[in-house]
Amino acid sequence: MILTDQQILEEIGKGTIRIEPFDPACLGTNSYDVHLGKYLATYRDRVLDARKHNPIDVFEIPEEGFVLMPGVLYLGVTLEYTESHAHVPFLEGKSSVGRLGIDIHATAGKGDVGFCNTWTLEISVSQPVRIYAGMPIGQLIYFEVSGDITNFYNKKAGAKYNERTIKPVESMMWRNAWEYPSN
By annotation, the residues acting in catalysis are: 122
Report the run of H or E that residue 9 belongs to, with start and end: helix 5-14
**SS3 at position 59:** strand
CB 59 within 8 A of CB 41: yes
CB contact at 8 A, 72 and 66? no
Q: What is the DSSP string of 12-68?
A: HHHTSEEEES--GGGB-SS-EEEEB-SEEEEESSSS--TTS---EEEEEPPTT-EEE
- The answer to whether 117 and 162 have CB atoms below 8 angstroms apart is yes
